[in-house]
């Protein structure tokens, strides 16, 4: 496992996902209200590119005729079969016990710290002026 | 997980036959070169059978992006299934598709009620499939679309295409005006038998003028999605008890996207009641399940997913390992990935049959 600088923090807009390739693996970076999360771009259900799906809220209900939305922007819905995963944990909503999307811890680090090393940056220069996203992979 | 890791595996995989791929047009005008001026103007003025106010909106709810894989929209803004290059890149190449069966839903005269227009639309859809798809991509095979509610027109269209290797089968809609066993459709089965091409029945939901359930209009898409499978069972029951298989013993029927886990239970039930009520339909000379076993093939997608995957293997034992054919339904949202669809261990022989050999034998692919 190594720590890698994978993107400038400013490249991942709030409510959006940016897919990057790290060590040959595609990882989706999410910005949920200023917090950053990273999921493998592979759906654990049937292998679709999970992070190309829609970012959605959770629809719940207390009974027929009623519904409520909660946690807007915190779930990713797979582009094939619509399975929903918690962006914060990778946990599947419909089968939480046995299915989980691979998650990577993300840290935001100032460029001033990173330029000292020993981190590896993916194909872009790290400068002291910006913040960067760093994951263990 | 990513292209670099997955591609070597793709190269090693056996070549597959995908029995359900949906092509579509960029715009309806793609059919115009294949229609007379009279019908071009008719189409522009009056539209086709599926006409409704909200352009681009289906009259019944669909999952995801209008029933499509979210990642299958071409960059030029055309609808999923309209871009052959994307189909190659996203599906045919990485999945090792050797032959893909085109199922051109709603692109012909299947359910058009204006029968003369239906004939013109069907003929145009067949030319369009041949010129715009099969000629450009020899891995693909078309299905002859016919104006099924007018048997004479349908037979003429089948006879016109029968010798063309671009067409592997004949497609009719199971949401027909009458249940498909009805004798008004028999000339179509006779023509299919004559030219030795299977009849493909792809599930349909709201279309044909009937409710999808038989018990009224469902509220939710999840109900309608299920009703497609029960509708297929009704169609199969009609073909059996009207005597279609008895009258046309060489007829081959492919049930596309209707599931197969129900087939053994339906067979047991039909056999039991046939033993008791045989005298009502004396033209059904053998136990119903025998006709199904001999003359019906099933495609796999959307594959049933029991909690214990081995239960599905048991069901295939009952249906027949030589009667199950792999399909993906590209580019629709409930697509099955060939690498992921089967969750139980297939022997190399079983895998070869389901992913290609059964279809090669049925369609005479070489």
HEC readout, B100-164: EEECCCCCCCCCCCCHHHHHHHHHHHHHHHHHHHHCCCCCEEEEEECCCCCHHHHHHHHHHHCCC
Q: How confident is the model at residue A118 (pLDDT cuts 50, 70, 90)?
A: low
Q: How confident is the model at residue B45 (pLDDT cuts 50, 70, 90)?
A: confident
**Partner-chain contact A82 B63, CB within 8 Å:** yes
Interchain contact B305–A (C-beta under 8 A) = no
* Spatial separation of the C-alpha atoms in residues A92 and A84, rounded to whole Å: 6
More confident residue, A120 or A77: A77
Per the domain annotation, does B84 fall within a domain? yes
Interchain contact B69–A (C-beta under 8 A) = yes
* Spatial separation of the C-alpha atoms in residues B43 and B38, rounded to whole Å: 9
pLDDT value at residue A122 = 66
> What is the residue extent of each domain of chain A?
3-136
Which architecture does CATH list for A3-136? 3-layer Sandwich (2.102)
> Is residue B11 over pLDDT 50?
no
Per the domain annotation, does B2 fall within a domain? no
Q: What is the pLDDT of residues B159-193, one digit of tens each?
A: 999 999 999 999 999 988 899 999 999 999 999 99
> Is residue A86 over pLDDT 60?
yes
Choosing among A50, A80, A83, A84, which should be mutated to test the B contact, i.e. which has the most B CBs within 10 A? Answer: A80
Per the domain annotation, does B3 fall within a domain? no
**CATH number of residue B341's parent domain:** 3.20.20.140
Per the domain annotation, does B164 fall within a domain? yes
Per the domain annotation, does B121 fall within a domain? yes
The beta-carbon neighbor of A46 closest among B4, B5, B340 is B340
Residues 335-364 of B with CB under 8 A from A: 335-337, 339-341
User: Cis link prior to B124 (omega < 30° from 0)?
Assistant: no
Per the domain annotation, does B260 fall within a domain? yes
Q: Which of A28-42, A67-81, B114-128, B195-209 has the lowest mean pLDDT?
A: B195-209
**Partner-chain contact A40 B71, CB within 8 Å:** no
Domain count, chain B: 1
Please give the ipTM for the structure prediction: 0.71
Per the domain annotation, does B325 fall within a domain? yes
Per the domain annotation, does B151 fall within a domain? yes
Beta bridge partners of A136: A3
**Partner-chain contact B69 A26, CB within 8 Å:** no
Domain that holds residue B300: 9-363
What is the pTM (predicted TM-score) of this model? 0.88
């Amino acid at each position: 496992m190594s720590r890698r600088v994978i993107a400038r923090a400013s490249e991942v807009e709030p409510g959006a996902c940016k897919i990057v390739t790290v060590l040959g693996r595609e990882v989706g970076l999410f910005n949920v209200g200023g917090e950053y999360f990273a999921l493998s771009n592979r759906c654990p259900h049937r292998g679709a590119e999970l992070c190309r799906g829609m970012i959605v809220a959770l629809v719940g209900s207390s009974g027929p005729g009623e519904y409520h939305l909660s946690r807007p922007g915190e779930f990713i819905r797979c582009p094939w079969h619509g399975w929903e995963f918690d962006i914060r944990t990778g946990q599947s909503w419909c089968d939480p016990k046995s299915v989980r999307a691979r998650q990577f811890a993300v840290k935001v680090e100032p460029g001033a710290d990173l330029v000292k090393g020993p981190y590896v940056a993916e194909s872009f220069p790290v400068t002291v002026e910006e913040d960067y996203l760093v994951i263990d992979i | 997980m990513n292209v670099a890791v997955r591609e070597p595996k793709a190269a090693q995989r056996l070549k597959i036959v995908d029995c359900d791929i949906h092509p579509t047009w960029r715009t309806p005008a793609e059919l115009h070169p294949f229609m007379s001026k009279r019908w071009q103007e008719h189409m522009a003025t009056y539209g086709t059978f599926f006409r409704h106010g909200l352009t681009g909106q289906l009259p019944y709810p669909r999952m995801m992006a209008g029933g499509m894989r979210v990642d299958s929209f071409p960059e030029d803004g055309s609808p999923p299934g309209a871009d052959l290059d994307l189909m190659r890149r996203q599906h045919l190449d990485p999945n090792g598709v050797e032959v893909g069966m085109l199922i051109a839903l709603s692109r012909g005269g299947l359910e058009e009620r204006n029968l003369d227009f239906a004939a013109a639309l069907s003929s145009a859809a067949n030319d369009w499939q041949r010129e715009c798809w099969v000629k450009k991509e020899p891995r693909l095979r078309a299905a002859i679309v016919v104006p099924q509610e007018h048997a004479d027109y349908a037979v003429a269209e089948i006879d016109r295409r029968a010798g063309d290797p671009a067409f592997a089968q004949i497609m009719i809609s199971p949401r027909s005006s009458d249940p498909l066993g009805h004798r008004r459709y028999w000339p179509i089965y006779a023509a299919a038998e004559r030219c030795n091409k299977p009849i493909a029945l792809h599930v349909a939901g709201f279309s044909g003028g009937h409710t999808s359930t038989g018990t009224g209009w469902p509220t939710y898409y999840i109900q309608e999605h299920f009703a497609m499978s029960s509708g297929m069972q009704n169609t199969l029951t009609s073909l059996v008890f009207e005597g279609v298989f008895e009258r046309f013993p060489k007829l081959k029927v492919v049930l596309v996207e209707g599931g197969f886990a129900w087939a053994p239970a339906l067979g047991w039930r039909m056999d039991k009641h046939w033993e008791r009520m045989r005298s009502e339909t004396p033209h059904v000379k053998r136990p119903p399940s025998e006709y199904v076993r001999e003359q019906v093939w099933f495609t796999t997608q959307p594959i049933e997913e029991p909690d214990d995957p081995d239960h599905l293997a048991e069901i295939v034992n009952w249906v027949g390992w030589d009667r199950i054919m792999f399909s993906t339904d590209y580019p629709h949202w409930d697509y099955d990935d060939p690498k992921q669809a089967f969750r139980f261990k297939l022997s190399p022989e079983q895998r070869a049959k389901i992913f290609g050999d059964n279809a090669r034998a049925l369609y005479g692919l070489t």
